[in-house]
Amino acid sequence: MKQSKKETTLSEKDALQDLLDCEKLLMSYYAAALTEGSCMPFRKEIFKRYGEHADTQFLVFEQMLSRGYYEVQPAAKMLVDQKTETFSKVLKQISG
């Protein structure tokens, strides 16, 4: 049975979610390529592309947020303080 266009068209929310997922996946691929790159021109190009996709990912996220498609819960101050302390300790250990 052939599907009609209406049955195969993504909703705005689904299309934005798909785009967000794709951008996140591309960023993970670029991050892997960056860590494996062995020559500076290649690394510079990958870093440039990574930044472009990071910007696009954030724009899509903002669109989803503004439309109510993505809910963000604010972190409790106590949790933020705990994480800050944890990472401060780690930074001191590796800098020491």
pLDDT band, very low/low/confident/very high, at 75 (cuts 50, 70, 90): confident
Express each pLDDT in 35-59 by its tens digit.
Answer: 999 999 999 999 999 999 999 999 9
Predicted confidence at residue 80, as pLDDT, reads 84
Predicted confidence at residue 5, as pLDDT, reads 60
Question: What is the CB neighbour count within 10 angstroms for residue 45?
Answer: 14
Residue-level length of the chain:
96
Bigger pLDDT: 38 or 73?
A: 38
Sorted by sequence, the CB contacts under 8 Å of residue 23 that are 6+ apart come out as: 53, 56, 57, 60
Model pTM?
0.70
Domain ranges of the chain: 10-95
